[in-house]
């Protein structure tokens, strides 16, 4: 039987900075009896290593969950509040209630239990690092599929981040329905594209 004291959930997000796509959050309760070797901040891992660890974490954790906030929620609430909402959804989706939640960053939503925010936690706390890996892999996979739905933007490559190629595609095509219209670069390009097209764009 799992001791209540071991039920500590790590929480992290992926996708706050991109111009397109939802934001993803994950929550993970690791099993002390079945440790996963090599967990760290997902940004420091190669894609292949993230994929491997994603499978290991899902297979060996006591509990895990992935949750989302949509582009519409990001535009309506702002990216911070949408991220905190995705974190709450991830913790609520866990099949067991954690005793404590540890979040990467400097802000915690209300989880209904003890919670702490830790700057750089994804590199120091294995449960948070595990959550960062699950969130990153889930979101990257979604953006690869989104690339097929909205060809021309290069989502499979840049995952929605404001790269030079992405901004060039935005300039050429205008925003698609998965672009965050509240983000400055998209808002400015939407305005200029609508003016050039006589008031319409692909997002209309």
Domains, the chain, in order of start with CATH, read 4-148 (3.30.420.10), 151-196 (no CATH)
**Could you report the per-residue pLDDT of 45-70, keeping only the tens digit for each?**
999 999 999 999 999 999 999 999 99
pLDDT of residue 199: 53
pLDDT recorded at residue 193: 60
Q: What is the DSSP letter of 69?
A: E
The average pLDDT across 88-112 equals 97
pLDDT for 202 beyond 70: no
Q: Quick one: the chain helix, strand, coil %, rounded to 5?
A: 45, 15, 35
Under 8 Å between Cβ of 180 and 74: yes
pLDDT, the chain, mean: 93
Summarised one tens digit per residue, pLDDT across range 151-170 is 999 999 999 999 999 999 99
Looking at residue 189, what is its pLDDT? Answer: 82
pLDDT at 156: 98
Alpha-carbon distance of 122 to 39, in angstroms, equals 9
Given this model, what pLDDT does residue 49 score? 98
What is the mean pLDDT of the segment spanning 179-192?
A: 89
* Distance, CA of 104 to CA of 115 (rounded, Å): 11
Global pTM value? 0.91
What is the C-alpha R_g of the chain? 18
């Amino acid at each position: 039987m799992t001791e209540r004291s071991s039920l500590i959930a790590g929480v992290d997000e992926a996708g706050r900075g991109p111009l397109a796509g939802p934001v993803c959050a994950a929550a993970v309760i690791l099993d002390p009896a079945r440790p996963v070797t090599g967990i760290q901040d997902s940004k420091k891992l190669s894609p292949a290593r993230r994929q491997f660890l994603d499978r290991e974490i899902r297979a060996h954790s006591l509990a895990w969950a992935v949750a989302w906030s949509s582009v519409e929620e990001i535009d309506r609430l702002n990216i911070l509040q949408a991220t905190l909402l995705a974190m709450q959804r991830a913790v609520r989706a866990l099949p067991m209630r954690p005793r404590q939640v540890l979040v990467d960053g400097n802000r915690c939503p209300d989880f209904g239990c003890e919670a702490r925010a830790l700057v750089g936690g994804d590199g120091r706390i294995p449960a948070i690092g595990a959550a960062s890996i699950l969130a990153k892999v889930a979101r990257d996979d979604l953006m690869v599929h989104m690339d097929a739905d909205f060809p021309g933007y290069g989502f499979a490559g840049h995952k929605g981040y404001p790269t030079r190629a992405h901004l060039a595609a935005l300039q050429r095509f205008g925003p698609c329905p998965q672009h965050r219209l509240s983000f400055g670069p998209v808002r400015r390009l939407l305005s200029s594209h609508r003016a050039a097209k006589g008031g319409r764009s692909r997002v209309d």
